[in-house]
Each structure stands twice: as structure tokens, then as C-alpha cells.
Amino acid sequence: MSTIELSTVVFYEGSLPSVLPLWNCSVPLVSPVPDALTAVYGTTSKPDAFAAAYQYAKRNQLQHTVIDVTVTLEHRPNPTVMRAETLGSYDFFSMRRMATSMEGQIVEWIRAGLAPDDRRAKLFDEMLPTQVLAREPSLLGVLMDSPACRHLKLLACPAQTMIDLQVFNVGVVPFRHWSAIQEATCRFDPSVKISLEPPPAFAAKLAVPSSNSAG
């Protein structure tokens, strides 16, 4: 077992609610990852993201707060570079630590999940996979829905947010792996309760074991 800490930023007007549903507290991206929680990952990105969030809130006359999230993994993160043939043995994948040989497979997995006329597919002809994903982070959802990645509880990748031009490293937890989130606290306002109730649209699915799951 292993744990990874993520942090997300919530913007609001007026008074901070006494209860915040975590599933609705993703860091705003230029194109959201559907059916997933997105937060900032890594000791380098977090201070920069918090500083950017402060300036964003100030510019837009908003209040903001930080929520720290604990994600529990069944396997320790890969201590070396990730390769496609070892991906199935881990439930966390940082794209900043993948082998160069894996880039082509990342592109294949994403393209397989796109419609033939999806304009985003052409971006891979011009840029590296991580550059495309930073610009179009919604594609992270396509990647994590691919058969090779559906088992991943957490994927980390640089992505463009709505709060700053700078790219931050974000962690994505698909709603189907919601149970991997073990704890969430409001850093600056500890009296605020962070609800870990699953997203309403997924609550019933998460409560019933899949017929395809191993018994």
C-alpha cells in the first residue's frame, strides 16, 4: 500500500460553504477531464499553483481555499521510468516518468478512443503526447478510458489550467476509482467538511460490484 497527496483549489463568492462535495472541487482546466477529480500533484507544482490561484482570485474578485486529498494505492509507485509492458503492474502513472518508447503507444491508445473526425487527433502529428495533453487535458479522460489504462487509480500529467498560463502537473482520479480517495481536508478552514460521497451519477455504479470483476 502507498499514499499520494494531491491538492485542489476551490473558488467561491461570499461565505465558504460549511460542506463541500469533493467530486465537484476539481482544479479548473482549459478543457475538463470528464468523470474524474483533477488536482495539483507534486512538490514543485503545488506552491506555483497556489500562488497563481491567489492572483486569479484577486483578479476575479473571488475567494478561494485549498483542499488536500489523500489517494491510496495498492502498489508502490514505479521507482524507475514506466514502460508499456510494466504499466499493468501499477495503479499510478506519472507521464513525466515514462520511457520515450512509450510515447507512440500513448498516441495509439488515445486515437483509438477518438472519432475519426476529431480535430484533436491531428495535434499528435505536430507535438509530443505530453504537449498535446497539456493543451487539451480532456484527452486524459480518453487515455484513462483505454483498455491499457482503465485500471489506473491515478494518472499525473502536465496540464493547462484556467487560472494561469503556466502549466502545472495535475493528478487525475477517475470517478470509477473513487474509493481510492481516503481523506480530504480543507487546509485553511478545518471546520469545513469535505464530503467524500461519490458523484451522484456514479454512486449506484460504485455500490454494485462489476459482474466482470474478479471474485
Give the pLDDT score at 207. 60
Give the pLDDT score at 203. 76
Name the residue ranges covered by the structural domains of the chain.
Answer: 2-78+85-206
What distances in angstroms separate CA 208 from CA 23, 142, 177, 202, 212, one per listed residue?
Answer: 19, 24, 13, 10, 11
Q: What is the pTM of this model?
A: 0.92
Give me the average pLDDT of each 10-residue run along the chain (215 residues): 96 95 97 97 95 97 97 96 96 96 96 94 95 97 97 98 96 97 95 95 66 39
